[in-house]
Amino acid sequence: MSERDALSTAMRGPAKPKKPTFGEMLLQHVIGFVGCVVFPGFVTAIAPVTWINLTRANDVVSARTDQCVFFVIPYLTRHVSPVTGVDTRVIQGEMVPDHDKSSSSQKTHRTEDEGVLVIRGPEQQSRVMVSPVNLKQTRDSIEAFLTDSSLQSRRLAVVANWKAGIMAGVPVSLLTVLYVVGVTLAILRWMLRPIWPVKAASMPLQS
């Protein structure tokens, strides 16, 4: 490169970065949506938080169960009216082999127990997954509401599995919060761009 070409390159400054194509931008958004929204939603759906709403009107108790994704967004709702009783059962965990190929001996471990709460009615029922740790407490709370006619409403939140639903669900849900905040800020910046254009080249230089 000659001295003249080098001087011309230096005056032009560094090369501008190449703008991504529409396909590249679309792929980035798809990957971000799957990783930050779909995956956390799947985690919070397989071990959901369920809200149990009990109400009393004219001595008739009704129940509505909202099985939620991201802890508060219902994706499955069931109604039972009138409520005639509540049952519980625990599904024992199974012995499954470990996937440790480095060990010569075949080891096994037991999966976690699962708790099921059944709110019964004359013609319908609602099955709610509840952690075995909270199963008895939840049943006692519902039975107390059924027997105490002075209570008009009660709302309970139950967790299917504390490890998967809360200990794993909360951290991955933070990804969704960050993704939504980032997308919102990007949309606002795009909407306000015609109002406050940023043109550094047009700013007058002060001597």
Q: Say if CB 62 and CB 79 are below 8 A apart.
A: yes
Q: What is the DSSP string of 62-108?
A: EEEEEEEETTTEEEEEEEESS--EEEEEEEPPPEEE---TT-SS--E
- The pLDDT assigned to 24 comes to 79
Question: Which pLDDT tens digit goes with each residue over 122-135?
Answer: 989 999 999 999 99
Question: Which pLDDT tens digit goes with each residue over 36-87?
Answer: 999 999 999 999 999 999 999 999 999 999 999 999 999 999 999 999 999 9
Q: Which span out of 149-153, 162-166, 198-202 was modeled with the highest average pLDDT?
A: 149-153
Return d(Cα 157, Cα 72) in angstroms, integer.
10
Burial 145-157 (b: 16+ CB within 10 A, else e): bbeeeeeeebebe
Cβ-in-10-Å burial (0-12, 13-18, 19+) of 164 comes to: middle
Structure tokens at 112: 């976690």
Question: Looking at the predicted structure, is the pLDDT value of residue 111 above 80?
Answer: no
